[in-house]
């Protein structure tokens, strides 16, 4: 298993440096920064002996570039209220529960951490396959960014990978596009399509799909589409 830590528009360079240090503490090195703040003296000081990891972090200018080669995208959030639609937030896993789901897989997995002030946008959460929340006190549930990363990395540091290959990210995106096409083809109610798309994405994300499973699902969808089209053509040819 290859684990990537993605920080989305981090605001404070000290946090970024501390994240780099935590990653080195637990043996991880793949750090991607989406539109980060300036990384200067404070970031280098807080990274301590992980300065090489900080300096080698990949910087990208949009969310999609940070995750486009990952088979599973996990978004972390510490907000316990109903700020987002329930379709975006349920179910949420603790790091320990998420760890169990990842045992034995072989592939690239991204764990995303949002902005220190506002977390993720609704659109960003939609792009995550699974949601993870660190159990904290209800009195003050939101953790410091670097502390949250350290907790997750500690939990994931002994995850044992295996021989179960995750489906290619490109094939997974094709599957989701194919599902959206099918919903349109069968005249699924337009006002329900977005939430249904998201619900199915959550289901398949939790399943950690294998390559053959993705191809089988796409084959089933193609068969349904062909039969549906053939049925429509036959109905149109009947005398009224």
Closest of 161, 111, 155 to residue 8, by C-alpha: 111
| 63 and 114 together in one domain | yes
In contact, 128 and 98? CB cutoff 8 Å: no
| 85 and 186 together in one domain | no
| 103 and 23 together in one domain | yes
Where in the sequence is the domain holding 178, given as residue range(s)?
169-237
Looking at the chain, the whole-number percentage of residues with pLDDT higher than 90 is 69
Q: Can you give the pLDDT at residue 129?
A: 92
**Mean per-residue pLDDT of the chain:** 90
| 96 and 60 together in one domain | yes
Q: Can you give the pLDDT at residue 230?
A: 81
| 126 and 225 together in one domain | no
Sign of CA dihedral 52, 53, 56, 61: negative
Q: pLDDT digit string (tens) for 30-51?
A: 999 999 999 999 999 999 999 9
State mean pLDDT over 79-97. 66
Q: What is the tally of structural domains in the chain?
A: 2
| 136 and 159 together in one domain | yes
Other Cβ atoms closer than 10 A to 53: 19
> Which residues fall within 8 angstroms of residue 160, CB to CB, at 6 or more apart?
103, 104
Which residue pairs from 51-59 have beta carbons closer than 8 angstroms and sit at least 24 positions apart in sequence? 51/20, 53/20, 53/23, 53/24, 53/29, 54/16, 54/17, 54/20, 56/29, 56/31, 57/16, 57/20, 57/31, 57/32, 57/33, 58/31, 58/32, 58/33, 59/32, 59/33, 59/34
Closest of 124, 90, 153 to residue 8, by C-alpha: 124
The model's confidence at residue 82, banded by pLDDT at 50, 70 and 90, is: very low
| 159 and 173 together in one domain | no
| 96 and 206 together in one domain | no
| 89 and 208 together in one domain | no
CATH number of 227's domain: 1.10.8
Phi, psi for 152 (deg, rounded to 5): -65, -45
Show the tokens assigned to 73: 């995208």
| 148 and 206 together in one domain | no
pTM of the predicted model, to two decimals? 0.88
Residue where one domain finishes, among candidates 117, 135, 164 = 164
| 22 and 137 together in one domain | yes
> Which residues fall within 8 angstroms of residue 153, CB to CB, at 6 or more apart?
5, 22, 23, 25, 26, 28
| 151 and 233 together in one domain | no
In contact, 77 and 185? CB cutoff 8 Å: no
Sign of CA dihedral 161, 158, 116, 134: positive
In contact, 93 and 101? CB cutoff 8 Å: yes
Residue where one domain finishes, among candidates 111, 134, 164 = 164
Q: Bigger pLDDT: 235 or 84?
A: 235
CATH number of 76's domain: 3.40.1280.10
Q: pLDDT digit string (tens) for 138-190?
A: 888 889 999 999 999 999 999 887 888 999 999 999 999 999 999 999 899 99
Residue where one domain finishes, among candidates 164, 194, 226 = 164
State mean pLDDT over 214-234. 87
| Helix ranges, the chain (H) | 13-25, 41-47, 51-56, 63-67, 86-89, 95-102, 122-126, 145-156, 169-185, 190-207, 211-237
């Amino acid at each position: 298993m290859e684990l990537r830590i993605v920080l989305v528009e981090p605001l404070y360079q000290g946090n970024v440096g501390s994240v780099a240090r935590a990653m080195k503490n637990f043996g991880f090195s793949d750090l991607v920064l989406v539109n980060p703040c300036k990384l200067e003296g404070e970031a280098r000081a807080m990274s301590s002996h992980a300065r090489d990891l900080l300096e080698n972090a990949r910087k990208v200018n949009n969310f999609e570039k940070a995750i486009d080669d990952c088979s599973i995208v996990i978004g972390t959030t510490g907000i316990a209220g109903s700020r987002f639609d329930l379709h975006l937030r349920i179910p949420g896993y603790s790091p320990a529960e998420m760890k169990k789901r990842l045992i034995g897989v072989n592939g690239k997995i991204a764990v995303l951490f949002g902005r220190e002030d506002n977390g993720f946008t609704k659109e960003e959460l939609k792009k995550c396959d699974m949601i993870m929340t660190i159990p904290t006190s209800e009195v003050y549930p939101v953790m410091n960014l670097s502390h949250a990363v350290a907790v997750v990395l500690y939990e994931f540091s002994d995850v044992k990978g295996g021989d179960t290959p995750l489906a290619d990210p490109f094939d997974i995106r094709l599957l989701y596009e194919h599902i959206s096409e099918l919903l349109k083809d069968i005249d699924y109610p337009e006002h329900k399509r977005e939430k249904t798309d998201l619900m199915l994405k959550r289901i398949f994300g939790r399943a950690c799909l294998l390559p053959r499973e993705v191809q089988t699902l796409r084959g089933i969808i193609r068969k349904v589409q062909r039969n549906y089209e053939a049925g429509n053509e036959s109905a149109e040819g009947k005398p009224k």
